[in-house]
Amino acid sequence: MPSVQRVHEALKDTEAVVLLMAIDGGGKKTVQSYIAERAVTVRTLVDPRMEVARKFGVRAVPTTFVVDRSGAVVAVGRGPVDFDSPTLLKYIQGLLARSHG
């Protein structure tokens, strides 16, 4: 979770948006408590019935999607992702630059 917060902070002044989707069956209250305890400011969507997760084909937790401006999924990571990776940040910055070109 800390690395997601860091990538959110690194990209906050760009057009990139970092979102979390929680599938915790405890629902919104449980998720909000967890997020608040960790001082996470990333916008978090709650999907306790996995309705949205199923539409995206989520089969593992965590799953990471990179979606471009047109709404196309351009990258998927299943399992842990190193959000502190300079390669990942450079990839996202490249997508942002390309969208302006």
CATH number at residue 83: 3.40.30.10
Residue 41 lies in a domain: yes
Residue 101 lies in a domain: no
What band does 99 get if pLDDT is binned at 50, 70 and 90?
low
Distance of CA 68 to the CA centre of its chain: 13
Distance CA 24, CA 48 (A): 5
| CB neighbour list of residue 60: distance below 8 Å, 6 or more residues apart | 78, 79
CB contact at 8 A, 81 and 61: no
What band does 100 get if pLDDT is binned at 50, 70 and 90?
low
Mean pLDDT for all residues in the chain: 89
Residue 100 lies in a domain: no
CB contact at 8 A, 86 and 61: no
What band does 53 get if pLDDT is binned at 50, 70 and 90?
very high
For the segment 39-68, the average pLDDT, to the nearest whole number, is 91
E strand or H helix that includes residue 77:
strand 73-78
Please give the tally of structural domains in the chain: 1
Residue 27 lies in a domain: yes
